[in-house]
Amino acid sequence: MSRDEEGTLHAPAIAHEFANAQLGDRRLSIRLVKLAETLAAAPGKSIPQATGRRCDEDAAYRFLSNDAVRPAAILEPHFQQTSRRAAEAGTVIVAHDTTEFGFGGTSRRPGLGRLRTEKDQGFLAHVSLAVTADGARRPLGLLGLDCWARREPPNGRRNGKKRSGGDYAKQADKESARWLRQVRATAQLAGESASCVHVADREADAYPLLAALVEAGDRFVIRMSRDRVARDLNDQDDEEKVRQLVARAEDVVQIEVPLSRRPAKRMPGSNKSNPPRDARLAKLAFAAVAVQLRKPNYVKGAAPWLPVNVVRVYELDPAEGLEPVEWFLLTTEPIATRENILAIVEYYRTRWLIEEFFKALKTGCAFEESQLESYDALVNALAVYAPIAWQMLLLRNLARSEPDAPAEVALTPSQVEVLRDFSPIKIPSNPTVRQALFAVAGLGGHYIKRDPGWIVLGRGMEKLLLLEAGVRMGREKAQRVHSRSGGT
């Protein structure tokens, strides 16, 4: 976002997120901006459909397959813009998570690896998304993207048997190392002007990572996966499991929280850790305690005891047959007051935005439908699509969190002007973000009252950007005619 001379906050044009990329050749940098604008104008379409002309299609493929082009260089301007937005926010939540991108077809694409089975092909991406910590949950953009293709199961031997914790700890190039690597990279990008609270789900619950974060003084909220041996920070005589320690802590807060619907996932294993559920209003209780975690025997070189705070979130009186909510959050944030504990829970609940970002990529941008034929071309394309998906997420999120904010917070002034002139849904001269969201969705064929999904939002953004481009070209042509006629 940027501010004009009057201090009004405006959404950035997508070209700004790629401007001045250092690709080693000025022509490549110009091509990147043009390609980004083209794909942003048709986020749900394939490259041939988005480019329209064969020469532009060939140019896009040549760019994405160019050996001199790398995702980090493509995204560097966007990372810098995100860093600037984070500095303006002051304190930001950095949500970290990993997702899989799978690509069908019987022919193997060079460089892609296995996913769940040897027959699958695709790659993984570890993403760091910056979000404001002021309660508005405004997505600020990406601070990190790390991609890799897997050659064997992540925690298994070649014969399929799972490694022990000790064996896995000895592995030189572990996938889990990405968590600390990306925390360090994002903190460096954010700089001293922004204070980062790193938030992650249960996969990040590894003792070496927790120890490194505590030692460096990093702020974090990580959902506990392993029920480790611990002792009360104020009573270090007895050792017991974390769950037992926190279960004795007195409830500090009891509130009602709306839980969103969670659909069943394609992989049965994912449904065990995060079972599907319908939306409901749940009464939750929060308790907290300061503990020391005991180092596992197989971990070398870390502190034997690790001081952290633990917040327990659990559902009171769940209806029969429903899986009750229960989270154990490990954190360095203070737990002295009711407000402290509520802030920790709010930080963790903000993590769901990164799941929405993945949906924007996979559904709104239809990234997994790409026919690009190699890993290198696909990860370059992902780097181009990522800021586009972020802008779609920004619009959708602001319509929920700040529905009455001016539409220019999520869209450029020219896009708002086009919406007023062309949207099938009538909007006022100074529309709100929520009114703009439904106007964009209306361009995509959405006419019902509930919030639009990613597919229809992608279609609407496509039409909006095409109309904006048409209006701009018309004005430029009129100016040229005016200049040739001598301004009369």
Can you tell me which residue has the tokens 């062309």? 422
Predicted confidence at residue 9, as pLDDT, reads: 43
Predicted confidence at residue 4, as pLDDT, reads: 47
Q: pTM here?
A: 0.84
Predicted confidence at residue 242, as pLDDT, reads: 92
| Alpha-carbon gap, residue 64 to 62, rounded angstroms | 6
Closest CA to 298 of 388, 165, 428: 165
Q: Which domains does the chain have, with CATH numbers?
A: 14-373 (3.90.350.10), 402-484 (no CATH)
Query: What stretch of H or E contains 48?
Result: helix 47-51
Six-digit token pair at 469? Answer: 């481009």
- Asked if 324 contacts 314 with a C-beta cutoff of 8 angstroms, the reply is yes
End-to-end CA distance of the chain: 38
| Mean pLDDT of the 262-282 span | 62
**Contacts for 149-152: CB closer than 8 Å, 24+ residues apart:** 149/111, 149/112, 149/113, 149/122, 149/123, 149/124, 149/375, 150/113, 150/114, 150/115, 150/123, 150/124, 150/175, 151/113, 151/114, 152/114
Angle in degrees, 0-180, between the axes of helices 375-401 and 54-64, rounded to the nearest 10: 100
Neighbours of 173 (CB within 10 A): 6
| Alpha-carbon gap, residue 14 to 36, rounded angstroms | 7
How far is C-alpha 449 from the geometric centre of its chain's CA atoms? Answer: 26
Predicted confidence at residue 5, as pLDDT, reads: 44
Residue 8 pLDDT level (bands cut at 50, 70, 90): very low
Closest CA to 423 of 434, 407, 436: 436
Residue 145 pLDDT level (bands cut at 50, 70, 90): very high
- Asked if 150 contacts 113 with a C-beta cutoff of 8 angstroms, the reply is yes
Six-digit token pair at 467? Answer: 């109309």
What percent of the chain stands above pLDDT 70? Answer: 87
Contacts of 99 (CB under 8 A, 6+ apart): 124, 125, 127, 358
| Alpha-carbon gap, residue 80 to 143, rounded angstroms | 8
Q: Which amino acid is at 21?
A: A
Contacts of 149 (CB under 8 A, 6+ apart): 111, 112, 113, 122, 123, 124, 375
pLDDT digits (tens, 9 = 90+) for 302-344: 888 999 999 999 988 887 777 888 999 999 999 999 999 999 9
Measured in residues, the chain has a length of 488
Predicted confidence at residue 164, as pLDDT, reads: 52
Q: Which amino acid is at 272?
A: K
How far is C-alpha 369 from the geometric centre of its chain's CA atoms? Answer: 20
Higher pLDDT, 348 or 155: 348
Mean pLDDT of the chain: 84
| Mean pLDDT of the 203-227 span | 94
| Alpha-carbon gap, residue 69 to 72, rounded angstroms | 9
